[in-house]
């Protein structure tokens, strides 16, 4: 939606309209380097802002708890079919409202068998089948090493329900050591192993995780929220063949609306669907389900693969350009769309929080991020996470990535000098004028 001062919001609600206009200008005139963000197409935007928001559709296609759901059924069935085609999974539930809820659905379906009574009954009926209960062990990547809150952090429901052991990356290489994962798994005997990350720039070895899960009798889940676009286009190995569950958000590299998606093997279909609704959510956000369907349709087109190839090419160029300007990247580089910049070598006195603030003032939007073995606190950090999905959507390529690296280093080197920020901002503005947003 482009700005229209005669729009219903402008006429009816000037306070919200002011923020709306400011946000549109912010997105138009800044370089978006947050690895988990992107700019959706006009078609996805239209679906997300559509009349589907008016409708309750609790239940699933053909089995709803409300009348008038015939169009909801069409939209949701298309979204499911396209998700299955995109990822080659047995079953897809397109209703989770976020990535965290997509993950919670897995825990609810697989690790919480129901009431204590149901648990006893299951033991009786099927003594050979493991019963998974609250308090069981999960093995997942440490948050400070690139993991996610919903993978067992104590402040999240996943960490409140379950005991958690974390694997991490090696100090020397910045990579996950699979021998160490195997050792931890044998030691802690998890009922579930969670793979996937929010800030890990290297290729996941799903096959090795699957071997370990099989050896210790654990279920295996992959959260591909960040790399879903790369997985869907075959540019990162797919976890679908070897995992019991695969979850994702739909708004990062996948470039759809803000939301979640839970995929599973056929055996788990019923339990996953019951976990999402009525287990965890009520009426699905049908405008978002419609936008997911549109986005999945876009992702099935050949242009989407070319886009993902450019995302990776741009990330590699940005990482190399930063390294050549004396910045350290955790693990030395990237195989995907993101990188974790370790500020300690090039700019030891600059924290991630300072860098985020200074770059923001220059029109370059990033997020501070803990780096593995960080000695600074989470609100301070020694790292920055950078990603190329949004800039690539604007049409930027390797020349622009070199320039972005240059601008970043100029800002960091100036220690937040206001004049430098102003001059960088002018250059950023020029780039944004040349490479428009998809809806502009």
Which residues, numbered 31-70, are part of the site for ligand DSN (CB under 6 A)? 36
Catalytic residue among 24, 37, 55, 58: 58
Decide whether 228 or 431 has the Cβ nearer to ligand DSN.
Answer: 228
Catalytic residue status for 58: yes
> What phi, psi does 122 have (nearest 5°)?
-65, -40
Residue 384 is a binding residue for ligand DSN (CB under 6 A): no
Least Å distance, CB 292 to ligand DSN, is 17
Catalytic residue among 30, 195, 233, 249: 249
Least Å distance, CB 228 to ligand DSN, is 11
Decide whether 36 or 140 has the Cβ nearer to ligand DSN.
Answer: 36
Least Å distance, CB 148 to ligand DSN, is 6
Which residues, numbered 311-370, are part of the site for ligand DSN (CB under 6 A)? none
Catalytic residue status for 292: no
Decide whether 26 or 123 has the Cβ nearer to ligand DSN.
Answer: 26
Interatomic CA distance for residues 214 and 131, integer angstroms: 16
Which residues, numbered 9-38, are part of the site for ligand DSN (CB under 6 A)? 36
Decide whether 95 or 198 has the Cβ nearer to ligand DSN.
Answer: 198
Q: Which one of residues 105, 225, 230, 390 is an interface residue with ligand DSN (CB under 6 A)?
A: 225
Decide whether 252 or 394 has the Cβ nearer to ligand DSN.
Answer: 252
Catalytic residue status for 258: yes
Interatomic CA distance for residues 245 and 138, integer angstroms: 14
Catalytic residue among 28, 252, 255, 292: 252
Which residues, numbered 256-285, are part of the site for ligand DSN (CB under 6 A)? none
Decide whether 142 or 148 has the Cβ nearer to ligand DSN.
Answer: 148
Residue 198 is a binding residue for ligand DSN (CB under 6 A): yes
Which residue of this chain has its Cβ atom nearest to ligand DSN in the complex?
36
Least Å distance, CB 248 to ligand DSN, is 10
Which residues, numbered 148-167, are part of the site for ligand DSN (CB under 6 A)? 148
Least Å distance, CB 390 to ligand DSN, is 12
Catalytic residue status for 56: yes
287 closest CA partner among 94, 103, 106: 94
Per rule CB under 6 A, count of chain residues that contact ligand DSN:
4
Catalytic residue among 28, 82, 132, 258: 258
Least Å distance, CB 155 to ligand DSN, is 13
Which residues, numbered 122-151, are part of the site for ligand DSN (CB under 6 A)? 148
Decide whether 113 or 257 has the Cβ nearer to ligand DSN.
Answer: 257
Decide whether 174 or 297 has the Cβ nearer to ligand DSN.
Answer: 174
Alpha-carbon distances, residue 249 vs 12, 164, 177 (angstroms): 33, 23, 26
Catalytic residue status for 223: yes
Structure tokens at 309: 């190839």
- According to DSSP, the residues that pair with 91 across neighbouring strands are 264
Interatomic CA distance for residues 157 and 177, integer angstroms: 27
Per-residue H/E/C for the chain:
CCCCCCCHHHHHCHHHHHHHHHHHHHHHHCEECCCCCCCCCHHHHHHHCCHHHHCCCCEECCEECCCCCHHHHHHHHHHHHHHHHHHCCCEEECCCCCHHHHHHHHHHHHHCCCCHHHHHHHHHHCCCCCCCCCCCEEEEECHHHCCCHHHCCCCCHHHHHCEEEEECECCCCCCECHHHHHHHHHHHCCCEEEECCCCCCCCCCHHHHHHHHHHHCCEEEEECCCCHHHHHCCCCCCCCCCCCEEEEECCCCCCCCCCEEEEECHHHHHHHHHHHHHHHCCCCCHHHHHHHHHHHHHHCCHHHHHHHHHHHHHHHHHHHHHHHCCCEEHHHCCCCCEEEEECCCCCCCCCHHHHHHHHHHCCEECEEECCCCCCCCCCCCCEEEEECHHHHHCCCCHHHHHHHHHHHHHHHHCCCCHHHHHHHHHHHHHHHHHCCCCCC
Least Å distance, CB 252 to ligand DSN, is 7
Catalytic residue status for 64: no
Catalytic residue among 24, 56, 81, 417: 56
Least Å distance, CB 47 to ligand DSN, is 22
Binding site for ligand DSN (CB under 6 A): 36, 148, 198, 225
Residues noted as catalytic: 56, 58, 223, 249, 252, 258
């Amino acid at each position: 939606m482009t700005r229209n001062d005669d729009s219903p919001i402008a006429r009816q609600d000037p306070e919200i309209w002011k923020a709306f206009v400011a946000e549109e200008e912010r997105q138009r005139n800044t370089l978006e380097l947050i690895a988990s963000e992107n700019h959706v197409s006009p078609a996805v935007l239209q679906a997300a802002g559509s009349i589907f928001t008016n409708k309750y559709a609790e239940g699933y296609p053909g089995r709803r708890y409300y009348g008038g759901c015939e169009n909801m059924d069409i939209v949701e069935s298309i979204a499911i079919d396209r998700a299955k085609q995109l990822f080659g999974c047995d079953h897809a539930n397109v209703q989770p409202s976020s990535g965290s809820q997509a993950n919670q659905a897995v825990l609810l379906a697989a690790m919480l068998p129901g009431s204590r009574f149901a648990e006893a009954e299951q033991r009786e009926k099927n003594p050979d089948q493991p019963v998974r209960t609250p308090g069981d062990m999960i093995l997942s990547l440490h948050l400070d090493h690139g993991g996610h809150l919903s993978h067992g952090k104590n402040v999240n429901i996943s960490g409140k329900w379950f005991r958690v052991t974390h694997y991490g990356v090696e100090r020397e290489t910045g990579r996950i050591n699979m021998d160490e994962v195997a050792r931890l798994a044998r030691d802690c005997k998890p009922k579930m192993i969670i793979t996937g990350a929010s800030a890990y720039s290297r290729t996941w070895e799903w096959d090795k995780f699957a071997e370990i899960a099989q050896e210790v009798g654990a279920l295996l889940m992959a959260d591909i929220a960040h790399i879903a676009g790369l997985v869907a286009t075959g540019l990162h190995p797919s976890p679908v063949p070897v995992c019991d569950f695969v979850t994702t958000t739909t708004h990062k590299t996948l470039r759809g609306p803000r939301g979640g998606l839970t995929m599973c093997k056929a055996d788990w279909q019923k339990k996953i669907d019951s976990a999402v609704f009525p287990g965890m959510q009520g009426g699905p956000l049908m405008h978002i389900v419609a936008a997911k369907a549109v986005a999945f349709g876009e992702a099935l087109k050949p242009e989407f693969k070319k886009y993902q190839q450019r995302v990776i090419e741009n990330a590699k160029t940005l990482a190399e350009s930063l390294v050549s300007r004396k910045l350290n990247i955790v693990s030395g580089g990237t195989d995907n769309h993101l990188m974790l910049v370790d500020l300690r070598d090039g700019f030891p006195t600059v924290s991630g929080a300072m860098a985020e603030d200074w770059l923001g003032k220059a029109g370059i939007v990033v997020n501070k991020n803990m780096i593995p073995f960080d000695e600074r606190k989470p609100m301070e950090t020694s790292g920055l996470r950078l990603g190329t999905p949004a800039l690539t959507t604007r049409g930027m390529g390797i020349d622009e990535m070199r320039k972005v690296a240059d601008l970043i280093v100029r800002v960091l080197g100036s220690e937040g000098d206001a004049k430098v920020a102003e001059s960088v901002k002018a250059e950023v503005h020029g780039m944004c004028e040349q490479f428009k947003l998809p809806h502009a």
